[in-house]
Structure 1
Amino acid sequence: MGELVLTTYDWAPPPPRGYVRDLRIRWALEEAGLPYRVASTPFRERGPDHLAHQPFGQAPWLTDGDLSIFESGAILLHLGELSPVLLPTAPAARSETIEWLFAALNSVEMATQPWVLFKFSNDTDPANPNWKRCDDFVKLRLDRLEPVLAQREHLAADAFTIADLMMADVLRIVDRFDGLSAHPATKAYVDRAVERPAFQKAYADQMAHFAAADGKA
């Protein structure tokens, strides 16, 4: 393992603060107790150096020595390889963790992301068929997830892993808009996750990072 450097934006507008995806990586690093430092890339200018690490001009990315990794799911998998705290080594538990990690991204976040955009834009008129389809899709996904979380504390391996970290982070922003109120087991699952000391530190560090740049933005 080389030096771990997490690169995120130097600033972000207030509404998405606390939800920028470097938080997922900060959280994982804190859970695993891995040493790392945070670097910044300009929010307002996505230049060649940025695009060399993240071709879509987004954040975060992680460098591990000479290795550069983008996409939060890929970064979490990489960190899981560095720490059994994040990714079990037993084959069955490892497989279950990875499948739920991908489920959080592909089955849940794929549905919730458009829903969140509607919410942020206050475009949730019940008469809008596009909003209704989006809202119904999210509710269907939550309806499928609810009985799973009603039966277990963690998604895989009987322990908190990158699968829980990803799923809880995907669901946090739904909870921000009270979207979990009809799914008590899912709501309780998210509440337990955000009470973890590693999340609390990651969240506070991200908020402080962006707040420190307010006068420069």
Structure 2
Amino acid sequence: MHINSNPDIRISAFQWVPDFAQGMVRDIRIRWALEEIERPYDTSLFDATQPRDAKYREWQPFGQVPAFDDGNVRMFESGAILLYLGEQDERLLPGKLQDRWEATAWLIAALNSVEPILSTIVSYDIFHADKDWAKAARPAAVEFAEARLQSVSDALGDKNWLTGRFTIADIMMVTVLRNVKHTDMVAGFPTLAAYQQRGEQRPAFQRALKAQTEPFAEHEPQMV
């Protein structure tokens, strides 16, 4: 769905990232949502190894991806973009007041209460793995992260999705859980592991993953 001769929507993404980040960059959240509702889109690809210029920072002030433009609204931050798309299609965000705000709360919880803790583990394991201070701090960080994962698992219970039906909250939470795919942390919570697998098995996710990763082979830096 991401190829179209005249798409209304454009998102920013990276043309290449290292192996550990492939399938993880946050534009996958927007791609997934758009695939779920069969909305065509195009991409503006940027070199992740180079600073984004001033023009791009007018679109995304921090120089990150994704940024979004549908001809009506230009915006940034994956959570805000998902909410915007959800407002337009009940397949992503239900119209009933309680269900709508429950899904919104879970989307924000994924961003605020889960992702920062899991990102700490990523930082220790990937970016500071050779640092003694990171090795010393990791056990406490893992304990904190596992407590948060237990809370999500308990809330999910025997439901397939966080609010009972698939919403943008699940797009956000599944992609947040994927942050620690280099570990066995989620596997330690069978309910969450099954939940993440359900999300990743959705055809729309698979199309989004393929769309994100396809340019990487073409733009992979050549070793000199």
**TM (normalized to structure 2)?**
0.89
Residues 3 and 64 in structure 1, CA contact (< 8 A), matched pair in contact too:
yes
In structure 1, the residue matched to 2:32 is 27
Alpha-carbon displacement from aligned partner over 1:64-123 (angstroms, at most 9, x marks no partner): 104211110001001111211101111111011000000100010021111111122435
In structure 2, the residue matched to 1:47 is 53
Once residues 91 and 69 of structure 1 are traced to their aligned partners in structure 2, the CA distance between those partners, rounded to angstroms, is: 25
Q: CA deviation at 1:10?
A: 2.5
Which structure 2 segments of 5+ residues have no match?
1-6
Once residues 89 and 168 of structure 1 are traced to their aligned partners in structure 2, the CA distance between those partners, rounded to angstroms, is: 22
In structure 2, the residue matched to 1:143 is 150
Change (3 A) 1:124 1:169: farther
Once residues 27 and 216 of structure 1 are traced to their aligned partners in structure 2, the CA distance between those partners, rounded to angstroms, is: 30
Tell me the amino acid that sits aligned with residue 105 of structure 1: L
Residues 181 and 187 in structure 1, CA contact (< 8 A), matched pair in contact too:
yes
Tell me which of 164, 174, 188 is aligned to 1:182: 188
Aligned ranges for residues 36-185 of structure 1 at < 5 Å? 36-43=41-48, 44-121=50-127, 122=129, 128-156=135-163, 158-185=164-191
Decide which moves more: 26-35 or 143-152: 143-152
Q: CA deviation at 1:216?
A: 7.4
Q: Secondary structure at the match of 2:148?
A: helix
In structure 1, the residue matched to 2:3 is none
Tell me the amino acid that sits aligned with residue 16 of structure 1: A
Q: CA deviation at 1:3?
A: 1.5
Q: CA deviation at 1:15?
A: 2.0
Once residues 135 and 106 of structure 2 are traced to their aligned partners in structure 1, the CA distance between those partners, rounded to angstroms, is: 32
Q: Secondary structure at the match of 1:131?
A: helix
Q: Secondary structure at the match of 1:167?
A: helix
Runs of 4+ with deviation above 6 angstroms:
124-127
Q: CA deviation at 1:150?
A: 2.5
Once residues 208 and 80 of structure 1 are traced to their aligned partners in structure 2, the CA distance between those partners, rounded to angstroms, is: 26
State the identity %.
39
Residues 124 and 131 in structure 1, CA contact (< 8 A), matched pair in contact too:
no
Tell me which of 7, 13, 18 is aligned to 1:13: 18
Once residues 132 and 124 of structure 1 are traced to their aligned partners in structure 2, the CA distance between those partners, rounded to angstroms, is: 14
**TM (normalized to structure 1)?**
0.92
Q: Secondary structure at the match of 1:181?
A: helix
Aligned ranges for residues 193-212 of structure 1 at < 5 Å? 193-212=199-218
Alpha-carbon displacement from aligned partner over 1:170-208 (angstroms, at most 9, x marks no partner): 001223321112211011100111000000011011110
